[in-house]
Amino acid sequence: MLNRARRSFLGALSGLATIPLLSGQTRDTGFAPQKSAAGRLNIKITDLRCAVIGKNPTVRIVTDQGISGYGQAESSKPYLKPMVLFYKDYLLGENPTDVERVMLKIRRLGAFKPWGSAVSAIEIALWDIAGQVAGLPVYKLLGGKIRDRVRVYNGGVRFPMTGYTPKDYAENMAKMKEAKEGFTLIKQAVGFHNMPMMNQVPNSWYDEPRSGASHPNRGLMTERGLKYVIACVEAMKNVLGDSIGLALDCGPGWAVKDAIAFAKAVEPLHLTWLEDLITGDYVPYVNADVYREVTQSTSVPIHTGEQIYLRQNFKELIERQAVNVVGPDPEDVGGIAELKWIAEYADLHGILMAPHGIFDGLIGLAAHVQVAAAMPQNYIAFEYPVGNPEWWYDIVEGLPNPIVRQGFIDVWDRPGIGVSFRVAEARKRLSEEDRGFFD
């Protein structure tokens, strides 16, 4: 029976000379009509390329059968190109449809943010190829979709702040509430994740402001500082009411005492989550025991995980019930299959999923949609990335228009991740160094 099913699947592949994308458009797979399905499955990687397009390091895996797969790292990491190319020798000659076999060669060579991004971008490109070879959207290869549309929260859609008083935060939330995307969940930065807020009140915490890597400040808040943050949150929630959820990106950097006091103070507001109070962003450790103390002290959902690399590093958070929500970023955690694995394991432990992704770009957006469609019912929403610069929307095709409707994205059915380059337009945006990226 298994052999008969395999022959049926291969037979379905045998008629695919091109793969449909949009009405009147095709992506050339490089397959001749007479090429056997078995031959197509014997595809090999011939090159790994990386170009910084705009701000996003963009990966292209080239094969001997004319199919290319694309992945992407965050726009905040234009320096990653050498790290991506470090893995080239490990990939050459491998079959890209054997995603796990390829990943076993490189997965252990990544690390917490930012270095896991290179491995993650490669993994997404492998799935893009696997979907094209099968003639299926990637979500089918991840187990199939359980939802036809996926919820997103604002992420890259932000309106400039005119000031940092409670009144300013209320006005900003009013604008967010009217955004054309119709978000049903909005996240805003507060506390040590938003230093202009902290600097609004003199002596708001017991340390001096520091410079360095992202969000370097931490310490015990003064009574005045803590009350000020709470007032700003109350002002935002008063605008949103109970029809739109409010999540807060809080740190890292809070003292445990302040994290608990803050969480208890905002319990009546029914916030969707408090994110990265203790660790987060570029912190290369987890501190599950400390998170557990905060989580057990409040009814407000506690969230972390955007900087964490690989399933193994979520194990303690999940098994010890240290948080209520985990938020891996598919472009940091090791890719979309890694994210799906973590989602399933979290679901077994009653923990919710809200993936990070603010800087993931449009290829990253496509990858998010594919994996979110296949996640279990512990999925809340993913953080919506936008094209940066704006001309990214002119160099790719396959995204719906508009992308977001009433806070959701409809899941598309094109093969692979379903987004491809308008090569002629994209070439114009390449630097001199990357001129050969599409050759």
Q: Long-range contact list for 389-393, CB < 8 A, 24+ apart?
A: 389/54, 389/55, 391/54, 391/429, 392/53, 392/54, 392/56, 392/361, 392/362, 393/362
Residue 196 · residue 213 · CB < 8 Å = no
Q: Tell me, yes or no, whether 175 and 309 share the same domain.
A: yes
Q: What is the mean pLDDT of the chain?
A: 93
What is the radius of gyration, based on Cα positions, of the chain? 22
82 upstream amide cis, omega within 30 of 0: no
Q: Tell me, yes or no, whether 127 and 155 share the same domain.
A: no
Q: Tell me, yes or no, whether 24 and 159 share the same domain.
A: no
Tell me the residue range of the domain where 20 lies. 15-137+430-434
Backbone angles phi, psi at 42, to 5 degrees: -95, 35
Q: Any idea which of 4-18, 95-109, 352-366 has the lowest mean pLDDT? A: 4-18
Q: Tell me, yes or no, whether 247 and 324 share the same domain.
A: yes
**Number of domains within the chain:** 2
Q: Tell me, yes or no, whether 253 and 387 share the same domain.
A: yes
For tokens 């228009």, what's the residue? 401
Backbone angles phi, psi at 36, to 5 degrees: -70, 155
Q: Tell me, yes or no, whether 191 and 148 share the same domain.
A: yes
CATH number at residue 88: 3.30.390.10
The average pLDDT across 131-154 equals 98
In a domain, 1, yes or no: no
CATH number at residue 167: 3.20.20.120
In a domain, 248, yes or no: yes
Q: Tell me, yes or no, whether 184 and 304 share the same domain.
A: yes
In a domain, 2, yes or no: no
In a domain, 7, yes or no: no
Q: Tell me, yes or no, whether 115 and 158 share the same domain.
A: no
Residue 215 · residue 197 · CB < 8 Å = no
Q: Tell me, yes or no, whether 268 and 410 share the same domain.
A: yes
As a whole number of angstroms, the distance between CA 292 and CA 107 comes to: 28
As a whole number of angstroms, the distance between CA 277 and CA 304 comes to: 8
Q: Tell me, yes or no, whether 78 and 182 share the same domain.
A: no
Give pLDDT, residue 40.
82
Q: Tell me, yes or no, whether 214 and 78 share the same domain.
A: no
Give pLDDT, residue 39.
75
In a domain, 3, yes or no: no
> Could you read off the pLDDT of 45-102 as tens digits, one per residue?
999 999 999 999 999 999 999 999 999 999 999 999 999 999 999 999 999 999 999 9
> Could you read off the pLDDT of 281-292 as tens digits, one per residue?
999 999 999 999
For the whole model, what pTM was predicted? Answer: 0.91
In a domain, 5, yes or no: no
Q: Tell me, yes or no, whether 339 and 401 share the same domain.
A: yes
Tokens encoding 244: 């739109």
